[in-house]
Amino acid sequence: TGSSDPYCIVKIDDEAIIRTATVWKTLSPFWGEEYEVHLQPAFHSVSIYVMDEDALSRDDVIGKVCITRDMLAEHPKGYSGWVSLSEVDPDEEVQGEIHLRVEVLGSQGGRRLRCTVLEAR
């Protein structure tokens, strides 16, 4: 139909911890939601899966963005920019990107990770 019904699932080390609301009939979703979660010091990655809700069959995975410990080490003051979605299913073509801002807050003793999805397209 030329549009999607997107929502996001956020996973920490492959454990789903957040599901956003679905934004109906759009290719440029806006959620305006905020969540706070506690990361274990030994976490490996935070992944944001962009999904397309389908009432008649299984929801489709549009793509994902993965923030790894290595990425955070490369950008110790944080990162802001467009990140292309990567494939989840090798048989599916992936189109789309997320404007992401990642900030590391606090000192070594009390560090926090703030990840903001500004826009998607």
State phi, psi for 32 to the nearest 5 degrees: 65, 30
Instruction: Render pLDDT for 89-105 as a digit per residue (tens, 0 to 9).
Output: 887 788 888 889 888 78
- Predicted TM-score of the model (pTM): 0.85
Strands (E), the chain: 6-12, 15-19, 45-52, 60-68, 79-84, 97-105, 112-120
What whole-number percentage of the chain has pLDDT above 70?
Answer: 97
Average pLDDT, the chain: 87
Domains of the chain by residue range:
6-120
Domain at 6-120: CATH code = 2.60.40.150
pLDDT tens string 62-80: 999 999 988 888 988 888 9
